[in-house]
Structures are given as structure tokens and as C-alpha cells.
Amino acid sequence: MAILKIYKYPHPVLRAVGERVTAFDETLQTLVADMIETLYACTGAIGLAAQQVGQPLQVFVMDMAAASTKDQLRVYINPEIVQASRNKTMREGCLSFPEYLANVKRPQKITVKAQDQWGQWFEQEATMLEAVCIQHEMDHLNGVLMIDRIESLKTDWITRQPKPLNPELADEEAS
């Protein structure tokens, strides 16, 4: 396993639409393991999409416990939202925009259908922050970033004090 470099905006890989996964082979298993290790190397992170580590595929990993227990780890491959509720504005952060938070409107309750890392389909209902995280990571899989979802840079784009990233994870050049 390896900790992968996380690409920051405006790197073009973040705009890549991910290809559907059809081979649940050793290459995919290695990518998933590396993404999980990378997620846990980022203190407080709860989700990581393949585009963020330079792989334009329909894959993301998520752990709502933010690595405190690792018992909530999920792998989502080829995910689709099959049901969504009304929207609510919530604050989001992103490893590809470490200096910012954004107020984004998203459904507060969703049902998602996806495959796990072995190709088995599952369906999951998610609410509030968990639903937001799934939708945020699914946006990455389609080349959509949180900056695309805000209504106003003045009111919805918030500068924060960045936490120091492990230098191995930082993208030195944005291009």
C-alpha cells in the first residue's frame, strides 16, 4: 500500500469524468487499498475520490468516523443516486481545496446504489453529513467541484486556516 498524492484545484484531473469500472482485478484492489491509506493519512478527512489521486474512475472511499475506528469504511464503485429528498444548505470541505469551505445546497437524504471493491451491488440510505459526503465524492467522479455548486463567492466561499498537509500528499504544481 502507498499514500498517494492528492491533486489540488485547478489541476485538470479534477475535471475528468471517471470511467465506469468493469474489472474488479488486482489493479483495482491496489488502487482501493492505496486510496484508503491516503484517506486515513489526512486527519479529519471522511471521503476521497479517485480523481483526487489522479485516477479518472468511478471510485471513492468514505469513512464517517474519520479514521477513529475504521468500522464505517465503505468503498463505492460506479455509484448512482436512486432517490433524493429536498435540498438543505450545509458546509463542505475538500482535500482539493484545503484552504476553503463552501456552503452547498444538496439533498439531505439520499439512497445510493453502488458496487463494493469486489463488484457486489449494495444499496444504502444516507442522511445529513453522510449524504453530503456521498454526493460530494460523486461530484468528483463526474468532474464537478464544490466551487461549481456555490451560488456566491462572496457569501458561500469561506477561507479557513489550512491544516498542514503531509508533504507527500500535496500537489506541488497545480498543472
Tell me if 51 sits within 8 A of 13, measured CB to CB.
Answer: yes
Q: What is the rounded CA–CA span in Å between residue 100 and residue 147?
A: 10
Q: Which amino acid is at 43?
A: T
Residue 137 annotated in active site: yes
Which residues, at least 6 apart from 30, have a Cβ–Cβ distance to it below 8 Å? 1
Instruction: Spot the catalytic one: 137, 151, 168, 172.
Output: 137
Distance CA(156)–CA(138), nearest Å, equals: 20
CA distance 73 to 142: 22
Q: Give the whole-angstrom CA distance, residue 55 versus residue 6.
A: 11
Residues annotated as catalytic are: 137
